[in-house]
Amino acid sequence: MPNIRAAGTVPWRHRAGALEVALVHRPKYDDWSWTKGKLDADELWQVAAVRETLEETGLHVRLGMPLPPTAYRVLDRTGHPATKQVRYWAATVVGGVGSLENEIDEVVWLDVAGTHDRLDYAHDRQQLRAIQRADLGGTLATWPLIVVRHGRAVPRSAYKGGRDWLRPLNAVGERQAHALVPLLAAYGVSALYSSTSERCVATLVPYAQSIGTEIELRQQLSEESFARKGGHRVVKTMEHLLDAAEAVAICGHGPVLPTMIKPLLARVAADGDLAVSARAAITAALDLNLEKGEAFVCHVAGSGAEAKVVAVERIPT
């Protein structure tokens, strides 16, 4: 049975101390559900979720923690049975005028009880319950700390430029760097840090140019500095990012990444399904490292000593 991939969001906010979420009405089906839509060819799930929300509601959103996915039977365009797989994210509205698309004729913000009663499908209540639990636990409001392994570079054996830190990305790495642009935008990344090596900087350059910001270069993240001086300053850099609590992406090298990621393991929230998953994802990254071009998205609640990793996503580009 073929699979149809779709992605969506559950925008949330607080009004007068109460949690509210946004749901949409589709006149074609006369139903109330979450905003969602099918992935384009080669599109990342996260990018599709943000795009579909904008196209259907006119709202620009920033992704937060992932929510429970769902799957159900539908008929495809040819009338044959298919399984529709939908992934969701909590999201906050960061702009837009709410201009509705033809498939949607109404967007409403309701409290939890009102949303529970308005939703037409039982499987949509999974995401509502997850958001409510996170809100009650103080972990719904998160910011992303995204660790990126640089894209594929010209092999050392083929590089004739002398100093290894000048070795550039190859064509695949350049494609990976450009694929990061809509992905980092989906999470609202506003700060960028990188090793001083060319292949790391170049991985973040397309996104830096897209938002008009500078990349903060850190010598301690380079392979050469790490080999000479160890990882103490790398850990300090990660602690600085946790203190700043700003949506950030930081790009490093394979040998340095475990030292960058390990401090996050101690920050995983104490309990919950997402915490178990996050702990497993961080442990796997420490054991097997990240693939080149991969983004390791840590959703963090709080800052400084109180910062807690509540969810983790691994996203290849």
Which residue in the block uniquely carries the two structure tokens 């969701």? 88
- Between 156 and 45, name the one with better pLDDT: 45
- What's the rounded mean pLDDT across residues 27-55? 95
Each residue of 56-97: pLDDT tens digit? 999 999 999 999 999 988 777 776 788 889 999 999 999 987
Rounded CA separation 110/273 (Å): 26
Q: Where are the domains of the chain?
A: 3-136, 143-315
Q: Is the pLDDT of residue 271 over 90?
A: no
Instruction: Tell me whether strands 191-195 and 216-218 are parallel, antiparallel or unpaired.
Output: parallel
Average pLDDT over the chain, rounded to an integer = 93
Q: Are 193 and 251 in contact (CB under 8 A)?
A: yes
Q: Mind listing the pLDDT tens digit for each residue in 192-243? A: 999 999 999 999 999 999 999 999 999 999 999 999 998 999 999 999 999 9
Same CATH fold assignment for domains 3-136 and 143-315 = no
**Structural tokens at position 227:** 């080999």
What gap in Å lies between CA 213 and CA 19, rounded to an integer?
34
The tokens describing 240, both together, are 């600085």
Residues 143-315: name the CATH superfamily.
Phosphoglycerate mutase-like (3.40.50.1240)
pLDDT for 260 equals 96
Beta strands in the chain (DSSP E): 3-15, 18-26, 31-33, 35-38, 59-75, 81-96, 106-111, 143-149, 191-195, 216-218, 248-252, 295-301, 308-315
CATH superfamily of domain region 3-136 = Nucleoside Triphosphate Pyrophosphohydrolase (3.90.79.10)
Residue 1: the pLDDT is 65
